[in-house]
């Protein structure tokens, strides 16, 4: 049995529509220009605060930490109410999760989203029961990816061991996390990174979840 740990935004779920709508709602409230969808998509990752800070930097804006704190609080409140309006699982996800579970693997989520938001999203999409652990930026105190301990702790929360784990992600942050934890990493090429995932050199790259079971089998450590 392996523990297969998924990133959330841009890996399991296409959350960009609701995240970008919330970001632009917050920017408009601050009388700042909204950001076109395609330009905003690569800003996703690292949590909502990072997304806000990157959006401000992209517009050449400087805000005090207190202002960013207020924008972040408003973002979380608005996003929580609109979290699954247009966010949807990527194609073939559910059938693939069924296949992995049937093969005896345990599944987990390791995200820099707040844990309660991650759970709310997955519950709204009827996916939460599939995962043995759903861990976010506040689950283990101040741990955030790319700190490898966040991945190790998620694997442990799911009942597994890092030596028999594989991570699935879409970003440089996910790859750095897995590398630091000595865990194999499968990169998906349909996520939010603005650098082609193959250039980040994960162990395998997939373009569809239908390709994931074969990649997992290929990367699985030998049983001892």
Residue 48 has a pLDDT of 87
- Domains in the chain (CATH in brackets) are 3-14+87-219 (3.40.50.1000), 16-81 (1.10.150.240)
Angle at 114 between CA 113 and CA 116, to 5 degrees: 125
Cis peptide before 175 (omega within 30 of 0): no
Residues 181-220 have pLDDT tens digits of 999 999 999 999 888 999 999 999 999 999 999 999 999 9
Residues assigned a catalytic role: 7
What are the CA-CA distances from residue 175 to residues 102, 116, 204 (Å)? 27, 24, 11
pLDDT in tens, 17-70: 999 999 999 999 988 889 999 999 888 877 788 899 989 988 788 788 898 999
Burial of 116 (0-12, 13-18, 19+ CB in 10 A): middle
What pTM was estimated for this model as a whole? 0.94
Tell which residue, 97, 98, 105, 102, has the closest CA to residue 3: 105
Gap between the Cα atoms of 31 and 143, Å rounded: 33
């Amino acid at each position: 049995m392996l523990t297969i740990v998924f990133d959330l935004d841009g890996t399991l779920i296409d959350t960009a529509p609701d995240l970008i709508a919330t970001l632009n709602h917050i920017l408009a409230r601050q009388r700042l220009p909204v950001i076109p969808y395609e330009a905003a998509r690569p800003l996703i990752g690292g949590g909502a605060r990072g997304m806000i800070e990157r959006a401000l930097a992209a517009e050449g804006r400087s805000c005090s930490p207190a202002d960013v704190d207020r924008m972040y609080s408003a973002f979380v409140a608005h996003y929580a109410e609109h979290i699954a309006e247009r966010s949807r699982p990527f194609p073939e996800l559910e059938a693939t999760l069924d296949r992995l579970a049937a093969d005896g693997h345990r599944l987990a989520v390791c995200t820099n989203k707040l844990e309660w938001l991650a759970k709310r999203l997955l519950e709204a999409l009827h996916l939460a029961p599939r995962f043995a652990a759903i861990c976010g930026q506040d689950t283990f105190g101040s741990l955030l990816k790319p700190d490898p301990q966040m991945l190790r702790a998620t694997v442990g929360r799911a009942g597994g061991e890092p030596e028999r784990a594989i991570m699935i992600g879409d970003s440089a942050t996910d790859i750095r996390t897995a590398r630091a934890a000595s865990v194999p990493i499968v990169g998906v090429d349909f996520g939010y990174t603005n650098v082609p995932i193959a250039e980040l050199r994960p162990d395998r790259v997939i373009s569809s979840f239908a390709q994931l079971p074969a990649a997992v089998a290929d990367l699985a450590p030998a049983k001892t």
